[in-house]
Amino acid sequence: MKLHFHGAAQTVTGSQHLIEVNGFKLLLDCGLFQGRRKEAFELNRQGHAAPPRSIDAVVLSHAHIDHSGNLPSLTRAGFRGDVWATGATRDLCSLLLMDSAHIQQLDVAHVNKRRIRESRRPFEPLYTEQDVKETLRLFHALPYGRSREILPGVTLRFNDAGHMLGSAHVILDIDDREVGDHKRLVFSGDVGRENIPIIRDPEPISEGCDILLVESTYAGRSHPPYPESEALLERTVRDTIERGGVLLIPAFAVGRTQQIVYALHELHMAGRIPTLPVYVDSPLAVNATEVFRLHPETYDEEALALLEASDSPFRFKALHYVQSVAESRAINDVHGPAIIISASGMMENGRILHHLANRVSDPRNTILVSGWQAPNTLGRRIVDGESEVRIHGVTHPMRAHVEVITGFSGHADQQELEEWIGAMSRMPRLACVIHGEEDRARVFADGLRERFGIQETLVPAPGDELVI
């Protein structure tokens, strides 16, 4: 058996790992690289982990674009195998991949304006909406806890990863017929957190494994307890109201937006924040929220109780879901206290940009950052406290207040990752630390070896091949 690492290796984005066994090729995740637009554009055009026609199946841990977003490109290049995911992941991918196709086309159109002026050959988009439709036909849904042989000698099971709706730990029981050996490989996907609202806690893999591919996004860091973050959200809302300002919350359309809406709902029902207009200005987030409403089987007990007490955890008085461009522009005329939640979470594209352009220079307003910001993104520059920011080619002085809440993160921190691994009754003999910044991943790998006695820990680089 061979393992190949092609993305999320010594970096956080572009998850893609290839397994070769029994003459078959299985891809774990097929994500896009995200970050600085030019670099991501070039990385996403470097090709695939293997010739797409030679790949027999893909297993998705979850629907986030850095884990699923390259699938239509794979299909466009000839892949016709099976795509295995949970039902909620499949439903979210139908939205996210279509949105991604739209972004690919917009990005290429932007780049091609310059290339055409310079008499250079224009680019083609990575994929189109038709490629997404072809990809969605390849999906097969597998519920949590069910085992299914997906390739000869390879049996798949999903555990609830507690990271986002439909997210899964991937458990592969592999009979390596070439060497006559059985191995269990666990791919963590993104490990979630305990006691985060809406979705259930991460499910431990108590039986352990032989080979572990584990994420390390927040290795070396600690999140505050969720109640502290909810209290900070409450305080930020009240402080912004007192200044007569608007609270801008850039949020990922899938997962983070629903978490924040849920938290505001709870605060509103408890009387901890006054009634004020709340706008969710992202068509993708609006549609994704409908998918959340379709999957109450993934909810934790608290969310189910809220569902019983109201029509939906994602609807309450003064909450407005915005779809049309005209409705979005009309929010520019809102001057009293209000909350605007809009994508993208890293402030690189989407409707959040025009809200920021209109409001970052007003000291009455607040920008609330609730997720990890990649280097070289507008979100990272705002968090780093730059005095000026460029939005749509125009420089704006930064006078708005900036607050950062890390407790809404869907990623386990150092302690939570260690607790998840420590629940295994049988420690892996090999752990590959992936999906993290290189320096933190190396420290985390050393710690796993020392704390749990794992024989070998690696931090693979892009393109590395490992023979098991």
Q: Which domains does the chain have, with CATH numbers?
A: 2-221+410-467 (3.60.15.10), 226-404 (3.40.50.10890)
What is residue 198's predicted lDDT score, i.e. its pLDDT? Answer: 87
Listing DSSP states for 316-352 in one string gives -TTEEEE-SHHHHHHGGG--SSEEEEES-TTSSSSTH
111-157 per-position pLDDT tens digit: 888 888 889 999 889 999 999 999 999 999 999 999 999 999 999 99
The token pair that represents 462 in the structure block: 């892009």
418-459 per-position pLDDT tens digit: 999 999 999 999 999 999 999 999 999 999 999 999 999 999
Query: Is 37 in a helix, a strand, or coil?
Result: helix
Which of the four pLDDT bands, split at 50, 70 and 90, describes residue 110?
confident
Model confidence at 214: pLDDT above 90: yes
Q: Which residues contact 353 (CB under 8 A, 6 or more apart)?
A: 347, 378, 391, 392
Distance CA 358, CA 441 (A): 39
Provide the residue type at 203 as one letter.
E
Distance CA 253, CA 262 (A): 14
Q: Is the peptide bond before 409 cis (omega within 30 degrees of 0)?
A: no
> 175, exposed or middle or buried, with CB in 10 Å at 0-12, 13-18, 19+?
middle
SS3 content of the chain, % helix, strand, coil (to 5): 35, 25, 40
What is the distance of C-alpha 433 from the center of its chain?
Answer: 18
What is residue 189's predicted lDDT score, i.e. its pLDDT? Answer: 97
Model confidence at 92: pLDDT above 90: yes
Average pLDDT along the chain: 92
21-41 per-position pLDDT tens digit: 999 999 999 999 876 667 777
Mean pLDDT of 334-351: 90
Mean pLDDT of 357-361: 96
Q: What is the pTM of this model?
A: 0.90
> Range with the lowest mean pLDDT among 261-270, 359-368, 451-460?
261-270
Mean pLDDT of 35-59: 85
Mean pLDDT of 216-236: 93
The percentage of the chain sitting over the pLDDT mark of 70, rounded to a whole number, equals 98
Q: Which residues contact 166 (CB under 8 A, 6 or more apart)?
A: 62, 63, 85, 86, 87, 88, 89, 90, 91, 92, 295, 298
Phi-psi category of 31—alpha, beta or left, where left has phi over 0 and alpha has psi -120 to 50? beta
Distance CA 410, CA 347 (A): 18
Model confidence at 350: pLDDT above 70: yes
289-320 per-position pLDDT tens digit: 889 888 888 888 888 876 776 667 777 778 99
What is residue 372's predicted lDDT score, i.e. its pLDDT? Answer: 77
